[in-house]
A and B are shown apart, each in its own frame.
Chain A
Amino acid sequence: MSIDNPETMETPTGEALAEAPILTEVLPELPTVMDEQDLIIETRNLSKRYGRLQAISNLNLQVPRGAIYGFVGPNGAGKTSTMRILTTLMKPSGGEAYINGYSVVTAPREVRRSIGYMPDFFGVYEDMKVWEYLDFFAACYEIPEAQRPGLINDLLELVDLAHRRDDMVDKLSRGMKQRLCLARTLAHDPQVLILDEPASGLDPRARIEIRELLIELAKMGKTIFFSSHILADVNEICTHIGIIEAGQMVAQGPIKAMRQQLMPHRVLVITLLGRLDEAKEALLHVEGILGIVDLPPEDGKIRIKVEFTGEDLRMSEMLQALTSKGIPVVNFAEESSDLEAVFMKATKGIVS
Chain B
Amino acid sequence: METPATRTRISLNPLRPLLRNPVALKELRGRMRGPRAFVVLTCYLIVVGGFTTLLYIAGTAATYNTTGEVDGGTLGRVLFGSVVAIELFLVTFITPAFTAGSISGEHESQTYDLLRTTLLPERQLVFGKLFSALAYVFLLLLAAIPLQSIAFLFGGVDVEEIVISLLVLLATAIFLGNIGVYYSAMTHRTLRANIMTYVTILAVILVTTAGAVIALAIVEGLDPSTSSSGSEWVLLVARGIFVCLNPLTTLLSTQQYLVNQQTLFTFKYTFTDGTTTTLPSPWIAFTIFYLLLSVVVFFATTRHLKRIEG
Contact = CB atoms under 8 A, between A and B. Distances in A.
Interface residues of A, number: 39
Interface stretch (A132-140, A208-216, A253-261, A325-333): A132-140
Given A90-B308, A109-B119, A127 B30 contact: yes
Contacts of A181: 114
Contact of B114 (A91, A126, A149, A184): A184
A117 B30 contact: no
A62 interface: no
A124 interface: yes
Contact of B5 (A91, A112, A115, A148): A148
Contacts of A112: 117-119
A139 B25 contact: yes
A123 interface: yes
Contact of A123 (B4, B6, B109, B117): B109
Given A89-B309, A119-B114, A127-B34, A140 B120 contact: yes
Given A136-B26, A140-B22, A166-B4, A127 B33 contact: yes
Contact of A122 (B3, B6, B29, B114): B114
A275 interface: no
B116 A89 contact: yes
B110 interface: yes
Interface residues of B, number: 27
Interface string B123-143: 000000000000000000000
B115 A149 contact: no
Interface string B180-202: 00000000000000000000000
A123 B110 contact: yes
Interface string A90-121: 11000000000000010011001101010101
Contacts, number: 85
B113 A91 contact: no
Nearest to A50: B310
Contacts of B256: none
Nearest to A110: B119
Contacts of B113: 87, 89, 117, 119, 122
A140 B26 CA distance: 11
B277 to A, nearest CB: 53
A142 interface: yes
Contacts of A206: none
Contacts of B30: 125-128
A40 B114 CA distance: 21
B9 interface: yes
A137 to B, nearest CB: 6
Interface string A12-48: 0000000000000000000000000000000000000
Contacts of B116: 88-89
Contacts of B111: 122-125
Contact of B118 (A90, A123, A126, A137): A137
Contacts of B115: 140
A124 B113 CA distance: 11
21 contacts: A87-B117, A108-B308, A112-B118, A117-B113, A117-B114, A119-B110, A119-B113, A121-B110, A122-B110, A122-B113, A123-B110, A125-B26, A126-B30, A131-B4, A136-B22, A139-B22, A140-B120, A141-B118, A145-B9, A166-B4, A188-B118
Interface of A: 87-91, 105, 108-109, 112-113, 115, 117, 119, 121-129, 131-132, 135-137, 139-142, 145, 148-149, 152, 166, 181, 184, 188
Ranked 8 nearest A-B pairs via Cβ: A139-B22, A123-B110, A140-B118, A127-B30, A123-B109, A140-B120, A149-B5, A117-B117
Given A112-B117, A117-B113, A148-B5, 6 more contacts: A88-B308, A122-B113, A129-B4, A137-B118, A140-B22, A141-B119
